[in-house]
Structure formats: C-alpha cells, structure tokens
C-alpha cells in the first residue's frame, strides 16, 4: 500500500515521502480526468510523468476504472513495466 512509504512525518524522509505521495495522487487525479491523453505504449498501457518527481506512472483504463500498473524511476529499464504484470 502506498501509505507504507511514510516514516516519521516530522523527519526529512517523512516530508519527502509526503511530497512524493501528493505528487503521485495529483498525477493520478489528472490522468483520471484525461485518461487517453498520453500515448499508448502496448497492451492498452499508457504512461505519464509524475508532476514533481522523475518517475513514470504506468496505467490503463478498464471500463470506467483506472488501473495503476506501477510507478518506476525514469532511469530504470523502460520495459520493466511489462514484467510488473507477471
């Protein structure tokens, strides 16, 4: 679960985790409003950059639902998302 990223909220790491989660949720909200705005990669999967962190959010739409497949650093293997589904 995403909330497990939190540490002591008063620590620097806790504040960074909180900023990351805000960025993640903001990006998910944006994607939910415009789910087909990003280019299609394969198998119905799309990706978009988080607003303030160098991470890709991989997702697909199923009926009226948004399915998040994974969040990967932009320096990681760009095809790694395909293995997340295995």
Q: What is the pLDDT of residues 44-76, one digit of tens each?
A: 999 999 988 999 999 999 888 999 988 988 887
Write the DSSP assignment of 9-24 as a string of letters.
TTSHHHHHHHHHHHHH
Q: pTM of the entire structure?
A: 0.78
**Spatial distance between the Cα atoms of 59 and 68, rounded to a whole number of angstroms:** 4
Beta strands in 19-86 (DSSP E): 40-42, 45-49, 55-62, 65-73
Task: Specify whether the backbone of 72 is left (phi greater than 0), alpha (psi in -120 to 50) or beta.
Answer: beta
CATH of the domain at 67: 3.30.2310.20
Please count the structural domains in the chain. Answer: 1
pLDDT at residue 8 in the model: 54
Count of alpha carbons within 13 angstroms of residue 62, beta-carbon side = 6
Show the domain range for 78.
2-84
For residue 23, give the nearest of 45, 4, 48 by alpha carbon: 48
């Amino acid at each position: 679960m995403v909330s497990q990223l939190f540490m002591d909220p008063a620590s620097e790491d806790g504040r960074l985790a909180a900023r990351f989660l805000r960025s993640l949720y903001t990006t998910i909200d944006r994607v939910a409003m415009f789910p087909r705005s990003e280019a299609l990669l394969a198998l119905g999967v799309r990706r978009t950059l988080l607003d303030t962190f160098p991470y890709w959010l991989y997702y697909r739409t199923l009926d009226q639902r948004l399915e998040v497949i994974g969040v990967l650093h932009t320096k990681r293997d760009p095809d790694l998302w395909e293995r997340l589904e295995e």
